[in-house]
Amino acid sequence: MLKAAVLGGSGYTGIELVRLLLSHPDVEVTAVTSERSAGLLISDVFINVRNTELKYDSLDLKVLAKRADLFFLCLPHKTSQETVAFLHNAGKRVIDLSADYRLKNPKVYEEWYKIPHLYAPLLKKAVYGLPELYRKQIRKASIIANPGCYPTSAILGLAPLMAKDFINVSGIIVDSKSGTSGAGRSPAQPFMFCEVNESVKAYSIAVHRHTPEIEQELSALSHGNVRILFTPHLIPMDRGILSTIYVPLKRKISLPDVQKLYNQYYHNEPFVRILQNGRYPATKAVKGGNYCDISVFLDERSGKNQTLIIVSAIDNLLKGASGNAVQNMNIMYGFEETTGLLASPASP
């Protein structure tokens, strides 16, 4: 049995990880931390998690390092910088769900997160943990930088196109809408019920911190320098992300050819579902599942200047965070990749 610990287990992504790992046949959860809930039973804080007698621990790394082989980090950025470095030096494998090791360029990290990266040499060792792109590297990695939720929906939606000469990479628009759990569990006025209910609003226009992460991965796929327009929106639901992506084309291409491209690219991917015959992805269809649903459409009304429209849907807490982290763990340790993740999304 693999001994695993979850550091920062009282937030939404943390408790989703705990829930998934407790049901995993090859994993023993040996520690879960929370500073604000230390000493309390997990089941007393989250009444939906009843199959454990585990209590929350404080974040004492010297003690915790002796209790697990793999550490999932659901900690704030900057805190994860130091924690990853400590655990790596202690010979442990780490899956970090913060942003601290996603960006390969420390100057870009400092520009967008307004703090220096104190462990820049470790960035070279960290593998961006999107299995659909980096499965081989994930198998051997000691540090996994689990992707952000918005980037997962955007990158998976765009990946099959990025090396193709018929798209214009300088005009990509990503319009995304997220449920409020994406903002975390800490109370804040913008996410109170009366502020969010019956309202939709854009935020962080042209300055969202996930922008350079999306651009980094799309640039690697296209072997060029990709810049996108990314606008996130907050909508009044608990969980889920729907991204509508607009890609200008350099030349005409048929919709069946694009659909064939997507089907071939994701043919062997267990958690990417390409919808056919004009079906539309919906957040409810992926809620509670580790899936990304994708559909492609073509606007042909503008003659030569066609626009390809991609729609993707994920559960931000699962394929956008904790489910993807478990998928990474399965790959790292040679477990069947789908273990613990094949539950169908709930309906309704």
Instruction: Give the H/E segment covering residue 166.
Output: none
How many other C-beta atoms are found inside a 10 Å radius of the C-beta of residue 317?
25
3-state secondary structure (DSSP) of residue 16: helix
> Angle between the 211-222 and 106-113 helix axes, to the nearest 10 degrees?
150
Residue with tokens 């319009």: 175
Q: What is the DSSP string of 21-73?
A: HHT-TTEEEEEEE-STTTTSBHHHH-TT--S---BEE---HHHHTTT-SEEEE
> Angle between the 131-140 and 322-332 helix axes, to the nearest 10 degrees?
40
Q: What is the DSSP string of 169-203?
A: GGGEEEEEEE-GGGG-SS--GGGSHHHHTT--EE-
Task: Tell me the catalytic residues.
Answer: 149
Strand 307-314, strand 292-299: pairing: antiparallel
d(CA 149, CA 316): 5
Contacts of 19 (CB under 8 A, 6+ apart): 48, 49
d(CA 170, CA 237): 32
Closest by Cα among 155, 137, 151 to 328: 137
Single-letter code of the amino acid located at 281 = P
% helix, strand, coil for the chain, step of 5? 35, 20, 45
In the chain, the N- to C-terminal Cα span, in Å, equals 35
